[in-house]
Amino acid sequence: MPAVTKTWQLLPHDSAAIGRLADALRVPPIVAQLLLNRGVKDPEAARQFLLAPLSDLLAPDALPGVTKAAERIHAAVQDKRKICIYGDYDVDGVTGTSILLQVIRLMGGPVDFYVPHRLEEGYGLNADALRQIAHSGASVVVTVDCGIAALAEADVARQLGLELIVTDHHEFKDRLPDAAVLVHPRLPGTRYPFAGLSGAGVAFKLAWALSVRACGSEKVTPRFRDFLLDAVMLATLGLVADVMPLLGENRVFTRHGLTRMAQTESPGLKALREGASLTDKAPMTAEDIGFRLAPRLNAAGRLGCARLVVELLTTPSTQRATDLVRFLEGQNQQRQQLERRIVAQAREQAETEGQADAPALVLASAEWHAGVIGIVAGRLAEHFARPVLMIALSQEIGAGSGRSIPGFALHEALHTCGDCLLSHGGHAAAAGFKVQSHRIDELRERFCAVAQQRFPNGLPAPILQLDAEVPLSTLTPGLLHDMERLEPFGTANHRPLLLAGGLQIVGEPKRMGHGERHMSFQVRQQGTTLRAVAFGMAERLEELMSAEGKCCLAFRPKINDWNGFRRVELQVADLQAGPRAQLT
């Protein structure tokens, strides 16, 4: 089953609007075009977007539930009641857990934390863990990045005499848990201006409110100020890893969190940067988090115990941090090996079991690792442009993870199939579930029927939205520097994707990289020649050369800084053979 051909769509070009915004901001037209593409039209809004000052973070008490939660936790600290922070095992959860753990320690309160084991306990609150926490002497439990859908578990907490404070950002059920306090940016009946906070972002707001109460003033002491700046950095790790939109408050978090990451004295973050070979890189980018730091932090949660990540992010010991990063590096390498093997097996299964024409893929194997299948499902969903469910079988129960495509709400589809599942949860793009092995065929039939109903005329071709068409001659280091003012790039503020047409291949393309999966080649346009690199596209070399070397590229411009020589290169996102681009 080959990869699906993408449809290229060039975003509108309004010369008058571009000129007005460029003049008002004194920026190049391409920067104005990029701002307009992102819905930023007003000059003042554009200035705020480009500056993203830390003062744009909303006051913590504006977040629904924060005031009440801060009062209860502050009172518990004063009464010397033991508090337990209960966080999810992904990066968003462990960074948020680290934030609240450190602020309560700063306040002088007795505090511990609990992170469930991904494979043994699964996501979210569980009753056995709550009993263990109560037995340890804790009387207050504060969740991070989980709990808003834990109706039965909240009842167990109440029966155990635990004061449960839920902080979360996930979707809730038809009713809310019966907890002492709920902290959530989208609580029914409330209107918080920014709905896109991550779990760590919510935890930061609560930590900020606690810092103000501990200091007795809006202006906190230097000790708490340094903590809060590091907490912005931790929240940035969490929200980027959780693929949250880099707009609004998240843009502010990320802009300042990345700056702090290069300056922090945190032993854990310094060791993590060294392990990812990012010590000399300044400024850091959100992509450095997404592709270099987050996978290392996630590895322990996927294959082992995420408690070690919380320890890394909070330890005062340089040696312990170094040891933990070395362990995480080993875990990440193991995860990469597992991922490559499962991707190959899943693609073979999809192609040999008669699913080529199916509107969705439901794949299962007893050889797959439950902690890795979510990543693989995401790769397959992108490659085949259809919803994918991956199931890791263990005895009679399968642990599943799904990833979707635009226009298909995965959590709603699983709800429709809910009577053949043991459990399920998630959101539109990603979800998890459990299913009995003898019902997998039924799930496949039901899930594909939902996809067929959603797409009666066939699966839509994935759309590649192009920001602008540019001549190669304009791609100078200076222009790229101007474009970088839109950093941080990520979800909802993607790195600019440009179009260059009428190109001619110069010389012979070269295969490169492990397994020769990538290729590099030179392209010329009216006297300007640049190098292009196409990762994972070596199999398309024949297609690239099929029109006598004439081609069009969808690409992201990058600076290659090698041995002090800086040059612009094209990082290819897609290609079309022929002199003119086919656009919709």
Tell me the pLDDT tens digit for each residue of 426-440.
778 888 899 999 999
Beta strand pairing call for 498-512 and 463-466? unpaired
Whether residue 528 contacts residue 473, with contact meaning beta carbons closer than 8 Å, is answered with yes
Q: What is the pLDDT of residues 503-547, one digit of tens each?
A: 999 999 999 988 899 999 999 999 999 999 999 899 999 999 999
Whether residue 235 contacts residue 85, with contact meaning beta carbons closer than 8 Å, is answered with no
SS3 (DSSP) at 305 = coil
- On the question of pLDDT at 564 being above 90, the answer is no
Per-residue confidence (pLDDT) for residue 258, from 0 to 100: 94
- On the question of pLDDT at 94 being above 90, the answer is yes
pTM for the whole structure? 0.90
Which range has the worst mean pLDDT, 160-164, 303-307, 460-464? 303-307
User: Which candidate, 414, 416, 450, places its Cα nearest to that of 434?
Assistant: 414
Highest mean pLDDT among 227-231, 282-286, 339-343, 379-383: 227-231
**CA angle, corner 384, sides to 514 and 335, nearest 5?**
45
User: Which candidate, 197, 203, 279, 263, places its Cα nearest to that of 230?
Assistant: 263
Tell me how far apart the alpha carbons of residues 178 and 157 are, in angstroms, rounded to a whole number: 9
Per-residue confidence (pLDDT) for residue 3, from 0 to 100: 61
Look up residue 580 and give its two tokens.
């003119």
The pLDDT of 388-413, averaged and rounded, is: 92
**Residue 49 burial by CB count (10 A; 0-12/13-18/19+): exposed, middle or buried?**
buried
User: Which single residue is written with the structure tokens 């097996």?
Assistant: 345
CA distance to 92, 184, 493, per residue, from 251 (Å):
16, 19, 9
**Domains, the chain:** 7-11+467-577 (2.40.50.460), 57-247 (3.90.1640.30), 353-454 (3.10.310.30)
The pLDDT of 142-153, averaged and rounded, is: 95
Sign of the Cα torsion 507, 508, 509, 513 reads negative
Where does residue 428 fall: left (phi above 0), alpha (psi -120 to 50 degrees), or beta otherwise?
alpha
User: Which single residue is written with the structure tokens 């322990």?
Assistant: 300
Whether residue 140 contacts residue 73, with contact meaning beta carbons closer than 8 Å, is answered with yes
User: Which candidate, 414, 430, 330, places its Cα nearest to that of 379?
Assistant: 430
- The pair phi, psi for residue 193, each rounded to 5°, is -65, -25
CA distance to 122, 175, 386, 522, 526, per residue, from 429 (Å):
19, 22, 12, 37, 43
- The pair phi, psi for residue 552, each rounded to 5°, is -125, 145
